[in-house]
Amino acid sequence: MKILVTGGAGFIGSHFVRNVLKHGDIPIVLDNFSTGSLSNIPERVRYYKMDILDNKLEDLLYDEGIDSIVHLAGQTMVDYSLKFPLHDMKQNIEGILHILEAMRKTKVKRIVFSSTAAVYGDVEEVDLPVKENHLVQPMSFYGLSKLTEEKYLEMYHKIFGIDYVVLRFANVYGERQGTKGEGGVISIFAKCFSENRNITVFGDGKQTRDFIYAGDVAEGIYVALQTSNINTVYNLSTQTESSLLDVVNACSAILHKEINPCFELERKGDIYRSMLCNRKAKEGLYWAPKVDLKNGLKRTLAYFLNDER
């Protein structure tokens, strides 16, 4: 199977490309390298320096004989979407439309789309863990644009027969994750440790997240390409709550050093508790996360402290 991976030079894309190679299929990377890095792409993988809005996309799909698309590219920062909603719309909504039109014209029949827990908005604690059929009420233009992309996928399936799988990710972490802007808290902590800097925790540190290792997400994407349970939405998560203090304490144990965070006032808009239900993915994709937080942190810290390049 030949798979086009948009955003394949990015954080999650780099994990997925390696997963595809492990399974013996052929990944083709498309990335504009605005945030991705050439060093994230294995040497034997062919890549195109191209934006998803490029008019040559249709030719690429046809010339390469692409079977399926995994769409990981796009604008991913909440704060940026609030400051620049037009650019967020262009990269995400216009971007998915450009891809779907190219698929329609070249008869590529399946796309796996990376969505986000941000489509759910601020969920009442009584509704945790959040299921896929929960009311969606995004609180940012980013969440709104991702939800709109999901709706376009539904319509293109109904009208043109293009199959899709939407994957709503929990808080993904792991090697090669960015540490600037809205990079994940774990990668930001790891970068601080590697530079012997103090870490900052906003709020009391008891706020929780559902942290999932990028390698498990990559496997979830791959099985979504294979499944017959398509044209639906799945959460990819551990369905486990871990507080920021849990993360700090686990890092302290791994590094054999005392960590004393600097506490600052909580940020407006931050969700206090977050956890996604993964039952549907377990039953529909026959997928389950394999790497627990302790082992995922060991791998991530080793990368940032020893192997980052």
Nearest CA to 243 out of 231, 235, 251 is that of 251
In 10-135, where do the E strands start and end?
A: 26-31, 46-49, 68-71, 110-116
Q: Give the pair of three-digit tokens for residue 94.
A: 């216009």
Q: Look at the block and give the residue holding tokens 């290792």.
A: 213
H-run or E-run covering 95: helix 95-106
* CB contact burial 130-143 (16+ within 10 A = b; e otherwise): bebebebebbbbbb
User: Please, are residues 174 and 214 in contact by the beta-carbon 8 Å criterion?
Assistant: yes
222 is catalytic: no
The catalytic position among 48, 142, 164, 222 is: 142
Q: In which region does residue 65 sit, left (phi positive, over 0), alpha (psi from -120 to 50) or beta (all else)? A: left
Do the Cβ atoms of 220 and 72 come closer than 8 Å? no
| Both tokens assigned to 207 | 């706020």
Residue that is written with structure tokens 């216009």 in the block: 94
| Rounded alpha-carbon distances, angstroms, from residue 231 to 16, 211, 226, 287 | 21, 26, 13, 17
Beta-strand runs (E) in 117-261: 163-169, 171-173, 200-202, 208-209, 211-213, 232-236, 242-243
Give the CA dihedral 274, 280, 283, 285, nearest 10 degrees. Answer: -90
Positions annotated as catalytic residues are 142
